[in-house]
Structure formats: structure tokens, C-alpha cells
Amino acid sequence: MSERSRRPLRSPGRTPEEVQRLVLGAAAEYPAWGPKTLHALLWPPGEAPVCERTVARILARAGRRCLPERLVDPAPHRFEREAPNELWQADFKRIGPRKERREALSVLDDATRFCIALAGVEDQTLGTVWETLWEAFGQFGLPEQILTDNGPAFRSNATWRWSSFDLRLMLLGIRPLHGRPYHPQTQGKVERFHGTLEREVRFEGSSEEELSRFRDRYNWVRPHHALAMRTPGSVYVPSARVRPARMPEPFFPAGAELRRCDDSGVLTYRGCRYKLGRAMARLPIGILVMDEVARFAWGDFVLADLKDMRV
């Protein structure tokens, strides 16, 4: 006894072999074309022996895709700084049991993944962020750049390009960077760090104590795949740029002409008005003329042409 084939003895409605050869021959010559295009190539309108769906079925039975091959998504662009303190990443994370969740601020070194700071905070305000960063600057020195998202603490008063947070960093010689809105991949390392934090910490006791234990374990005990299984603490070194004892007063490049913005962050210069944003309200700014073009300067940074901010 053996299983008999269920294939019918006759198939009067089967597509003729000649039609199938035509379809497969055209598909081999134009592999990126779909069934609709191949159908239009082979037969003029009104003279086709089969419909477009039959062409698609012929291609499918032959193991060919009916539509052009989907383009392979480009590999994600990964970046990593070469040395410690070239770039720090900072972001907030909600932690703790569901009914007692609170905010934590994380600061991570981009090159070594060393956790610079991990502290529970009361809110996402500039004052809260700055208190944590100021302490970190004192302990580990000043980085060259800091990358954040566009949250309220980092972009407060940023009606134009620069926020109060940015202006403070630049007075310390730190260049602020911000990721594209709704694109957390830019801050991928600190986001990945938050995933590890969420998996490994249960918050069964004091949040601050558990965060401190996790930070020590992450920096000095836990081998890191991106570091060839070394710990972040074994490869990180503090910055040689020492934090000043107090926040510097606004200063400007040599040769800059000093002006002051009004209460709304508008500057009047040579009879024209320029809107610099609320972050600059009542603050002095420097105007540096370079190649006959007036530019806005702050600290050691020349930020933009004044003409781009004309009201």
C-alpha cells in the first residue's frame, strides 16, 4: 500500500506551457520587474491570454519573487570616540517600583562606557542637572563635548539654537551637542546603559544605595563586550582639564565688540534687530567681525552669523 498522488489526471484550466516559458524568460531577462510590468511587456492590452495575478503565480511556482528584491537596509552608522572624555552622554531614566518611580540622571563616557554619574534626582530641571554635572566635573575633570537629547533640562529657553544649559557648558569650554528629536539612537550608549540598569537593579531597598552599588559593579566588576571584556573602570582615565572653583563670568574672544540683549533676547546692532533667543535675555554677548561678516561669539566659541538671526 502506498499513498497515491492527489494531482488531477487532467487540468483543462492550466496555463499553457508556452505562456509559462514566455513569463519565465522575460523574468530572467528583467529580474527586477514585477508581474504587472512583465504582463504589460509580453502582451498588448486586450490580447493577454492570462491576467497579472496568473503571471505572479507562475513566478511564485518557479521560486521567483513577484516584486523587486527589497533593498537591504544600510548598516547603522556607529560612532565611538577614540579617547576618554572626548564625549560624555547624559540622559534621564525613570527607575524604581511602579508606584514609587523617580528620575535618575546618567552620565556616560562615550569611549570607555565608564559611568561618570548615576544619581536619583527630584526633577528634570536645569538646576538639578547642573548640580550633578558640576560635581562630576570636579571629580573627573571637563570633557570636550557633552551629548544630550532635547529634554526640558537641556533645551530650556532654547527659542533659537542655544539654551541656558548650552551657554553654561560653553563658558567651561565644553561644546554642547543634541541628538535629533525622536531619534534616541544618537544617544545609543547611554540608552543601552539604561537597559542594563533596568535589568540588573530591582530597587528593593534605598534607591540611592542600589544605584551606587550598581554603578560600582558596572564600572569595576562587569566585563563589557565593547571593551574586549575589560571593565570600563580599567580603561577610563580622568580628564586633564580641571574644573574651575566657580562658574566663569561671560567672556568673549579677543577683539569682540560687546553688546547686551534685552529682556526678550533681542539684540540691536548698527540699526538692525537680531533675535538670539530667551536664553540670552539680559546677557552680554560678543560680536566678532570676520571677513566683513558680523558673527555672534560666546566664550571661546564663534556660533553664528548675525544676519541669520535678523528679525
Q: Which three cell numbers stand for residue 30?
A: 528583467
Q: Give 140's strand partners.
A: none
pLDDT value, residue 89: 96
pLDDT at residue number 187: 86
Mean pLDDT of 151-161: 77
Other C-beta atoms within 10 Å of 218: how many?
23
Determine the average pLDDT of the residues in 72-85. Answer: 74
What are φ and ψ of residue 165, in 5° steps? -60, -45
| Cβ pair 107, 132 in contact under 8 A | yes
More confident residue, 193 or 185: 193
Short-list 97, 14, 106, 28, CA closest to 65: 28
pLDDT for residue 267 is more than 80: yes
> Using 50, 70 and 90 to split pLDDT, how confident is the model at 262?
very high
Does the pLDDT of residue 208 top 90, yes or no? no
- Cell numbers at 47, concatenated: 490580447
Q: Average pLDDT of 274-279?
A: 88
Q: What are the backbone dihedrals phi and psi of residue 149, each rounded to the nearest 5 degrees, phi first?
A: -85, -160
What is the pLDDT, as a whole number, of residue 115? 97
In this model, does residue 123 exceed pLDDT 60? yes
Mean pLDDT of the residues in the chain: 87
With a pLDDT cut of 70, the percent of the chain lying above it is 93
DSSP H or E segment with residue 259 = strand 257-260
Calculate mean pLDDT across residues 164-175: 94
Of the segments 151-160, 235-244, 282-291, which one has the largest average pLDDT value? 235-244
Q: Give the pLDDT mean for 111-125.
A: 93
**With 80 as the cut, is the pLDDT of residue 88 above it?**
yes
Residue scoring higher pLDDT (66 or 108): 108
Q: What is the pLDDT of residue 209?
A: 87
Each residue's pLDDT tens digit, 19-77: 889 999 988 887 767 888 888 888 888 888 888 889 888 888 888 755 444 445 566 56
CA distance 7 to 173: 79
Mind listing the pLDDT tens digit for each residue in 278-307?
888 899 999 998 888 999 899 999 988 888
Cα distance between residue 69 and residue 242, in whole Å:
56
Listed in sequence order, the residues at least 6 apart from 118 whose beta carbon sits closer than 8 Å to its beta carbon are: 104, 105, 106, 107, 197, 211, 212, 214, 215
